[in-house]
A and B are shown apart, each in its own frame.
Chain A
């Protein structure tokens, strides 16, 4: 099986075998409908040929401006949205035999098999208000995944209490309702819910962007501690490179439904290969006030995902753009070890990191 999968992999494949999630050419188009008969007049290409992978126990940061398809990518992986195309390979323990994980394609999975996989992948959401049902107690909210999978038993309440304590809540919070908690506490409840079935991969969709700055750091630390304790892999979605910098082992930068660049965090920050990454990084505030870098102002707006530009989607805003950029879509390729980029001029350009 591993060999069969290995054959299917192309050049974006990781060299190591501890891959937990391998997304290949994932696409999600939302139809645009018009008129009484709801004729489809076009598509929003929210996720358009996205490839990345996540290793066991590591954090992959997924960054990009608002509307570039980060949320859609996360939700399509876990099949909240049906993928339009592409494959999502996941190394599943539940479907594997005698403790050995098995690579399965989530994009092709039927509903009942997918339900089993859902024990291994969970989500943390952005909005601390909307992500908890106001009519359920904290205990019921955290227990819900267990109930769904028929794993709620006599000692489950004890498990839930210890989970609540682990995320920094008190046992007596069990019978309270979400509206009694602050934003940071609610996010902890959401994290406890995500961990209640012992998942191996957690998709965190901007888990801290709705929180106060002081609470953000606490929550990020909690997520890191939990990662070490439970050997979790994270896909950490954010629109802000400085948040991702702290927590990510590797970073994938998205632009209008595509991954522009993917590399180890340090590598990416020190040697960006994509002009878009460089522009994003010039906007990150520097800790040293004496160090003044010019901020690269991108002209124009983010491209419209329902009507993207030709060639490289970034060309109307790119200050290095040349004729070829308008015509040909750049290939997403591994230019340096473990460093992937989609830019025609990546080889020749020397870009500034942080």
Chain B
């Protein structure tokens, strides 16, 4: 009995004696919604940024003879009522629609293309150097004009699902890289400004106020319009990332500054100071670790804004341009009356943007709750 009580107490001691990070992780894990958001994001980033060539059934620029084809329905039961465990799509026939006065594609129920996993297709290089030609799904031994378009095609007959996957790569990365830059600018300047105060603080403060006094979109537009037209698409991409980070670091800098100012007066910081701790020690041992959780939460919650900013800029025609393909570029192509009337499936992009943004918000909210394991301290 006594021994039992002893071991129980020891178990309890083990449970409570955890570092801050393991407490955060423990609390985060209990939040289903946040974990769900996190998993979605990991999946999205993995599929769209690391292996998009494998996930997408066709190459980004693979144009076909089926322009503006509507999405094919994936079926298990055919016109004769026969069930097959392997999904299939019907072939497409060209037809002139008299009412629309336009060429359309209709399903030909006599031709079935079964959909298989891991099929050979367009050749690619993963991450630019791992060669391959296997795609997640498609039609095995596809002949000429045998395709599967689960989200239809665009005006050049390119598979829209593939384009969304490739577009996601740029859009998701611009959010992440831009946010990392924002974080660097913002936290370094905020920390320096809060810690040293005085003239440095004054300058940083006024500068962030100056930036935040401008409305975001016109400022983006002015800066983006200044990118020379002859720059290579990749240079434009990086320039845009830097512009996004530059316009948005002020908010973070303010928050970090405020945090450092309040932490600076905590008695544990004074204790270290009274013992003779150096500036570097105070900063890296006592002040910055106290802001990391907040910085991560703020960053997570503001990546969606970054993604949306890219999207809106590209949609306005000031951001990325073809041949670069991002969600914003795809939306721009879909943003005409003609496209909405005749190829509404191009709005699938919006669904993907929404999923990414909601996943970031779920994750960010969960992190915010979890980062506070002592409840209020």
Contact = CB atoms under 8 A, between A and B. Distances in A.
Interface stretch (A46-54, A60-68, A141-149): A141-149
**Residue among A127, A132, A177 with the highest chain B CB neighbour number at 10 A:** A177
A132 B268 contact: yes
A80 B270 contact: yes
Interface string A130-169: 1111111000000011001100000000000000000000
B18 A80 contact: no
A131 B271 contact: yes
B274 interface: yes
Given A125-B267, A130-B266, A148-B281, A177 B274 contact: no
Q: Is the interface of A mostly helix, strand, loop or mixed?
A: loop
A193 interface: yes
A80 B274 contact: yes
A130 B264 CA distance: 11
Given A135-B290, A148-B276, A75 B270 contact: yes
Contact of B20 (A123, A129, A134, A176): A134
B286 interface: yes
Interface string B214-231: 000000000000000000
A195 to B, nearest CB: 12
B271 A193 contact: yes
A122 interface: yes
Interface in A108-131: 114-115, 118-119, 121-123, 125-127, 129-131
Interface in B268-289: 268, 270-278, 281, 285-286, 289
Nearest to B21: A135
A179 interface: yes
Given A134-B377, A177-B19, A115 B267 contact: no
Contacts of B13: 172
A180 B268 contact: no
A177 B20 CA distance: 8
Contact of B276 (A75, A118, A134, A176): A118
Given A129-B377, A177-B19, A148 B267 contact: no
B20 to A, nearest CB: 5
A78 interface: yes
A130 B17 contact: no
Given A125-B267, A133-B286, A135-B289, A180 B16 contact: yes
A246 interface: no
Nearest to A131: B267
B346 to A, nearest CB: 49
Interface in A176-227: 176-177, 179-180, 190, 193, 197
A125 B272 CA distance: 12
B17 A175 contact: yes
Nearest to B277: A148
Nearest to A137: B19
- Chain A interface residue bracket vs B: 35 or more
Contacts of A38: 202
Contacts of A129: 377
B129 interface: no
Interface string B344-377: 0000000000000000000000000000001001
A130 B13 CA distance: 23
A133 B276 CA distance: 16
Contacts of A180: 16-17
Interface residues of B, number: 26
B268 A177 contact: no
B273 A179 contact: no
B271 A177 contact: no
A130 B267 contact: yes
A151 to B, nearest CB: 11
Contacts of A145: 275-276
**Residue among B17, B202, B272, B276 with the highest chain A CB neighbour number at 10 A:** B276
Given A130-B268, A148-B281, A177 B273 contact: no
B267 A176 contact: no
Contact of A123 (B270, B277, B285, B290): B270
B27 to A, nearest CB: 13
A131 B274 CA distance: 12
A115 B17 CA distance: 34
B274 A127 contact: no
A177 B270 contact: no
A197 to B, nearest CB: 8
A175 B14 CA distance: 11
**Residue among A119, A123, A127, A197 with the highest chain B CB neighbour number at 10 A:** A123
Given A75-B270, A133-B286, A145-B276, 19 more contacts: A118-B274, A122-B274, A122-B275, A123-B270, A127-B267, A131-B267, A131-B271, A133-B285, A135-B19, A135-B20, A136-B285, A144-B277, A145-B275, A149-B275, A176-B16, A177-B17, A177-B20, A190-B271, A197-B275
17 contacts: A80-B274, A118-B276, A122-B274, A123-B271, A130-B268, A131-B267, A133-B268, A133-B286, A134-B374, A135-B19, A135-B20, A135-B290, A148-B276, A149-B276, A176-B17, A177-B17, A197-B275
Interface of A: 38, 75, 78, 80, 114-115, 118-119, 121-123, 125-127, 129-136, 144-145, 148-149, 172, 175-177, 179-180, 190, 193, 197
